[in-house]
Structure 1
Amino acid sequence: MENNTITIHDIAKALAINSSTVSRALNNSDRVSLKTKKKILDKANELGYQRNLLASNLRRNKTNTIGVIVPRISRYFFSSAISGIEKTAFDKGYNVIICQSLEQLEREENLINTLAANRVDGIIISVSMETLNYDHFDGLKKNGTPIVIFDRHCDLPDRNNVLLDDFVGAFEATNHLIEQGCKNIVHFSGPKNLNVYRNRLKGYKAALEKHEIPFRENLVLNSRLMQEDGTKLAEKVLRLPESIDGIFSANDVAAIGAMQYLKKKGIQIPKDIAIVGFSNGPTSAVMDPPLSTIDQSGGEMGELSANLLFEHLNVESVKREPKTIIVKPSLLVRESSKKRG
């Protein structure tokens, strides 16, 4: 007999007892004696019976599974967030289905539909760079499936958010560069449609304003902030008419690409150009020189997102009140920005 075809009826037949008794024993019912339970469990193990948890959960209209969608699992921030989510879910007795959109709207839409078809109890998502509308969330709302959006803000009504204070992080990074003596600071920014990058740009501008340094539009360079983008942006930096002495990058990945290119061109970091990134990925600490950065607290944001989702799983959909949690970032000063020691 194939293991995956074993049913309670097979166990009942092998023991010559009623199927309902087998079912009660496997569900640890008090209506079955300990002696009979042991006999049934021993036979179930002998035959290789595996309980169909999916069918059991669906009967209860609950799967004890949540879905997580992130742009890229390979990004340290998102892998840290996933770790925090999974740890919290495991402690609550939940399984996690992890997906990545690869920054593509169509893929994100397909993943939402797939998770809904698999009857997940809730979804935690950081939306893709291409996500400009949210029609694909409509089905989840109609079904009463709770959603928590983390890291990247989006304009969904009645949404639950766990967001970083990107403005403060960018302000601290830029302010630090200015305090190190930088006056011509380039900002590597991301896609303008994402609030996360708009807020980091606002923080950059606010720090300049505080120190009465004029904002110059040509010193804001936009890209998707991949490592190859950092290389291309560094090329542009060296062609600018201003003598650039600082770079604030909206992520570590582009900052690292820029550092590698600038070093090949004989630029000394931080003596010639000081650099600060954003996210505190593991590579940032082992660069030469180590990269100053803003710590996004990925693990903490993941745990907060999961706990917020579980709060809403325990409340009827009509009584759920949307909630936003703001996480404070912190500046980690390393050698890449220490112009003044």
Structure 2
Amino acid sequence: MAQFTIKDIARELGVSPSTVSRALHDHPDISQETKDKVVALASKRHYQPNQIAKSLQTSRTSTVGVVVPEIQHHFFSSVISGIEELAHKAGYTIMVCQSHEDQEREALNLRALASHRVAGILISISKNTTDYGHLKAVMSQGIPLVQFDRVVEPLDTGKVTVDDFNGAYIAVKHLIDSGYTRIAHIAGRQHITIGKNRHDGYRQALKDHGFRSDDDLVVYGGFQERDGLEGIKKLLSLASPPDAVFAVNDPVAIGVYKHLREQGVRIPRDMALLGFCNNPESALVEPPLTTVAQPAYRIGREAMHMLLEQFEREADFKPENKVLRTHLMVRRST
């Protein structure tokens, strides 16, 4: 007897295979009524995701590779928790690698994961990745690949991101509404989506509210504390320093915060400060940091959901770009 498949469930219930797949993995976008119908029919027809047979056919394991710039960043550790929770539920284990913001190490990680015959790979690229040959090589081997957070737009893969443009726009609008007039931006690398989109949101908010963009008020760097430290030094050296700083992420904002405190600059009286991410540290500094919160744990779950769909739908899978919302956490730094 032929095995009952996701397509069979979809046909009987009059829904798409994607809906069935998401229902079986308890996806939040699927209604409880649909989940109940899918699970009931799957149980009645003795549906089983044939991972053993699939492993024999593809010579791949039930391990999923995860590549992140650094685990110590709270955002990425939260993403990994979301990935692992859903992977475990679906019968997969995860293998985590760090690129340490280095393209060569990232490429080495991908080659190692491929040699271990992982079932698929989830990746957030390093800030220094400008050549994508190693990503294309993985895809050419037939290994499913999903990008999250920092993504390469031209690659035809599933992607899970947040609305970085709108998050930045709302952040800068908040600073404008609070009365600040010289708003600086310590930006990330512009070849990476989060750096470019947050920078574009900053520029657009200024334009829409009648402010002229001042190139002297934008400092380009990376995504770590030291980038904030170097950025704020440049801004403080200006003849007319800013009265507010929007940092590309919370680690950069914390670097700014530490230097401002060392220099006796009062936050927010002398200079307001705003970050992006909502790391735990942002609420612990004094004054607490206003920041744009992004759903790190959900990003991990959505990325793993997308990979599971690709496993099950195979040739029928069409990559999608899932964009999640952010929200502003107003605290006393602004």
Structure-2-length-normalised TM-score: 0.81
Letter of the 2:320 counterpart: K
Describe how 1:29-68 pairs up with structure 2 within 5 A: 61-68=59-66
Could you tell me which runs of 5 or more consecutive residues in structure 2 were left unpaired when the two chains were aligned.
1-51
SS in 1 for 2:313: coil
SS in 1 for 2:276: coil
How big is the shift at 1:322?
Answer: 1.1
How big is the shift at 1:263?
Answer: 1.6
Residue matched to 1:324: 321
Cα distance in 2 for residues equivalent to 1:133 and 1:271: 43
Residue matched to 1:311: 309
Could you tell me which runs of 5 or more consecutive residues in structure 1 were left unpaired when the two chains were aligned.
1-53
Cα distance in 1 for residues equivalent to 2:103 and 2:60: 28
How has the CA–CA distance of structure 1 residues 59 and 171 changed in structure 2, closer, same or farther, with 3 Å as cutoff? Answer: closer
SS in 1 for 2:121: strand
Letter of the 1:311 counterpart: E
Cα distance in 2 for residues equivalent to 1:107 and 1:156: 22
Describe how 1:262-277 pairs up with structure 2 within 5 A: 262-277=260-275
Letter of the 2:91 counterpart: G
Cα distance in 1 for residues equivalent to 2:93 and 2:74: 22
Q: Does 1:291 align with 2:264?
A: no
Residue matched to 1:39: none
Q: Does 1:335 align with 2:332?
A: yes
SS in 2 for 1:325: strand
Q: Does 1:185 align with 2:180?
A: no
Which sits farther off after the overlay, 148-157 or 268-277? 148-157
Residue matched to 2:139: 141
SS in 2 for 1:314: helix
Q: Does 1:152 align with 2:150?
A: yes
Cα distance in 1 for residues equivalent to 2:58 and 2:266: 63
Cα distance in 1 for residues equivalent to 2:156 and 2:223: 30
SS in 2 for 1:335: coil
Cα distance in 2 for residues equivalent to 1:143 and 1:238: 50
Letter of the 1:130 counterpart: N
Letter of the 2:110 counterpart: I
How has the CA–CA distance of structure 1 residues 285 and 90 changed in structure 2, closer, same or farther, with 3 Å as cutoff? Answer: same
Residue matched to 1:206: 204
Listed one character per residue, the Cα deviations across residues 79-113 of structure 1 (whole Å, up to 9, x for unaligned) are: 11000000010111110000110111111111111
SS in 2 for 1:336: coil
How has the CA–CA distance of structure 1 residues 210 and 155 changed in structure 2, closer, same or farther, with 3 Å as cutoff? Answer: closer
Residue matched to 2:72: 74
Residue matched to 2:161: 163
Cα distance in 2 for residues equivalent to 1:270 and 1:188: 17
Contact 2:309–2:317 (CA under 8 A) maintained in structure 1: no
Aligned residues: 283
How big is the shift at 1:211?
Answer: 1.2
Letter of the 1:324 counterpart: N
Cα distance in 1 for residues equivalent to 2:209 and 2:70: 37
Cα distance in 2 for residues equivalent to 1:280 and 1:111: 28
SS in 2 for 1:191: coil
SS in 2 for 1:68: strand
Q: Given the alignment, which residue of 120, 126, 140 partners 1:122?
A: 120
Listed one character per residue, the Cα deviations across residues 254-283 of structure 1 (whole Å, up to 9, x for unaligned) are: 111111111222211011111100111111
SS in 2 for 1:167: helix
Q: Given the alignment, which residue of 241, 244, 247 partners 2:242?
A: 244
Cα distance in 1 for residues equivalent to 2:136 and 2:254: 39
Cα distance in 2 for residues equivalent to 1:142 and 1:231: 41
Cα distance in 2 for residues equivalent to 1:71 and 1:265: 31
Contact 1:134–1:156 (CA under 8 A) maintained in structure 2: no
Residue matched to 2:29: none
The root-mean-square deviation of aligned C-alpha atoms, in Å, is 1.8
Cα distance in 2 for residues equivalent to 1:60 and 1:198: 38
